[in-house]
Amino acid sequence: MTRAYLDHAATTPVSPAALAAMTEELARVGNPSSLHTAGRGARRTVEESRERLGAALGARPSEVVLTGGGTEADNLAVKGMFWGRRTAHPERRRILVSAVEHHAVLDPAFWMAEHAGAEIVLLPVDAAGVLDLDALREELAAHADETALVSVMWTNNEVGTVEPVRDVVQLAHRHGVPVHADAVQAAGQLPVDFAASGLDAMTVTGHKLGGPVGTGALVARRDLDLTPVLHGGGQERGVRSGTLDVAGIRAFSVAVEDAVAARPERALRLAALRDRLVAGVLERVPDAVLRGPADLSLAADGTAARLPGNAHLTFPGCEGDSLLYLLDSAGVEVSTGSACQAGVPRPSHVLLAMGVPERDARGALRFSLGATSTDEEVDLVLDVLPGVVERARAAGLVSAGGL
Ligand SMILES: Cc1ncc(COP(=O)(O)O)c(C=O)c1O
């Protein structure tokens, strides 16, 4: 074992079945909007894929709006639902989002504040990253009539916290406010059933569960007012124009179907690996702190307080970037948090929202496991980590002038 890839939450390998579907489809021609035989064949592939996606995610096929990934689906949800709502109710200007959302939700929300008259309410979380439902309740009691939508992620991508999405839906629907959830990290790892959740819209993406990058969907109720963000040929109920990526869509649907089918067994296996990783790290580096929910249990029905494949720890006196590069040279690939923020030397907004002091938040590492993770990879981490932490600490002391 020379290398360990423990960054599956950033992106995970394309599954062999998805790769086979994709390459087979790429060899074919046909625009699903064309009326000839090749076009009708492509359309059939898209619609079969849509059915597969709906069945795996607890949605009707007609609720699946295919997009070019999670960021696009989140943008369509936040902007489309805001504009859709405001057309009928100009007084509804508030967008309620949790403080720990991914930037694919936070940034469109703040963009709408700058450019479209929205008002953003950041809902607080507790020390484990769990949404404060009382804060949501109070906010809705005071301002429901001015609220356009609520967006709360199903699970957090950095610390693995599972959010109380069903409670959010119940509270918001009592006031007639629609709810979107970013389920990018949840699908394939936890039981995700769109109909049972009561959500109005939900984001999923291909490359976190064995599908290709650039594929995804916004699952959206048919009666949800959604203003298009992309305009053009009127594909996808008119809310997402653009020629459909038949090969990507088929591969995405195969990946989702397989990930959902494999989930019960895989979640158990990943949780066991993750538990060994966490226990091993805490034994070797006793002052490391596990962030996110401390409850690592996995219920028989697959529900959990924390994503089974997630371990997130902070290492006092270390810079996350130093740890990351030292681990990388020792053959271990991890992340300091959200890969989308890599290169930006700011502590994670998620950890800060959880009340982690900035000094501690700087020494964060996320280990995320996936379909290809093995015991040998965990062994390698446990082997090299103590030395890496020692060196990162020494480097931290030097840069802080302590040596
Ligand atoms: C929670 C969450 N939402 C959205 C995204 C963005 O998805 P995509 O990379 O498909 O645009 C990510 C990817 O890191 C994510 O973790």
Ordered by where they begin, the domains of the chain are 4-12+263-399 (3.90.1150.10), 59-229 (3.40.640.10)
Neighbours of 347 (CB within 10 A): 20
Residue 40 C-alpha to ligand 1 middle, in angstroms? 32
Q: Which of 156, 189, 205 to mutate to test the pocket of ligand 1 (most atoms within 8 A of CB)?
A: 205
12 CB near ligand 1 (under 6 Å): no
Q: Which of 71, 78, 207, 213 to mutate to test the pocket of ligand 1 (most atoms within 8 A of CB)?
A: 71
pLDDT of res. 400:
61
What residues does 205 pair with on adjacent strands?
216
Q: How far is CA 65 from CA 17, 49, 76, 153, 359, in A?
A: 23, 12, 10, 18, 42
Residue 11 C-alpha to ligand 1 middle, in angstroms? 9
- Look at the alpha carbons of 297, 129, 176, 71 in this order and tell me if their dihedral is positive or negative: negative
pLDDT of res. 339:
47
211 CB near ligand 1 (under 6 Å): no
Residue 219 C-alpha to ligand 1 middle, in angstroms? 15
Point out the ligand 1 atom lying closest to the alpha carbon of residue 338. 14
pLDDT of res. 68:
98
Q: Which of 340, 348, 349, 350 to mutate to test the pocket of ligand 1 (most atoms within 8 A of CB)?
A: 340
pLDDT of res. 340:
46
Point out the ligand 1 atom lying closest to the alpha carbon of residue 71. 11
Which protein residue's CA is at the shortest distance from atom 16 of ligand 1?
157
What is the pTM for the complete model shown? 0.96
Which protein residue's CA is at the shortest distance from atom 14 of ligand 1?
10
Residue 140 C-alpha to ligand 1 middle, in angstroms? 28
Q: Which of 19, 17, 45, 20 is nearest to 30 (CA)?
A: 45
70 CB near ligand 1 (under 6 Å): yes
Which protein residue's CA is at the shortest distance from atom 4 of ligand 1?
70
Q: Each residue's pLDDT tens digit in the chain (403 positions)?
A: 589 999 999 999 999 999 999 999 999 999 999 999 999 999 999 999 999 999 999 999 999 999 999 999 999 999 999 999 988 899 999 999 999 999 999 999 999 999 999 999 999 999 999 999 999 999 999 999 999 999 999 999 999 999 999 999 999 999 999 999 999 999 999 999 999 999 999 999 999 999 999 999 999 999 999 999 999 999 999 999 999 999 999 999 999 999 999 999 999 999 999 999 999 999 999 999 999 999 999 999 999 999 999 999 999 999 999 999 999 999 999 999 744 455 656 899 999 999 999 999 999 999 999 999 999 999 999 999 999 999 999 987 666 654 4
**Residues known to be catalytic:** 340
Residue 401 C-alpha to ligand 1 middle, in angstroms? 38
Q: Which of 103, 105, 162, 208 to mutate to test the pocket of ligand 1 (most atoms within 8 A of CB)?
A: 208
CB 383 within 8 A of CB 342: no
340 CB near ligand 1 (under 6 Å): yes
What is the SS3 assignment for 369-387? CCCCCCHHHHHHHHHHHHH
Question: Where are any strands of DSSP class E within 232-356?
Answer: 289-290, 310-314, 332-333
pLDDT of res. 1:
57
Residue 203 C-alpha to ligand 1 middle, in angstroms? 9
3-state DSSP call for residue 291? coil
What residues does 96 pair with on adjacent strands?
121, 150
Which protein residue's CA is at the shortest distance from atom 5 of ligand 1?
70
351 CB near ligand 1 (under 6 Å): no
**Burial class (CB within 10 angstroms; exposed 0-12, middle 13-18, buried 19+) of 263:** buried
Question: Where are any strands of DSSP class E within 60-208?
Answer: 64-67, 94-98, 119-123, 147-151, 179-182, 201-205
Q: Which of 324, 290, 312 is nearest to 395 (CA)?
A: 324
Q: Which of 280, 272, 368, 310 is nearest to 6 (CA)?
A: 368
Q: Which helix (H) or strand (E) holds 368?
A: strand 364-368
- Cα 366 to Cα 347: distance, rounded to the nearest angstrom: 13
How many residues are listed for the chain in this entry? Answer: 403
Residue 250 C-alpha to ligand 1 middle, in angstroms? 20
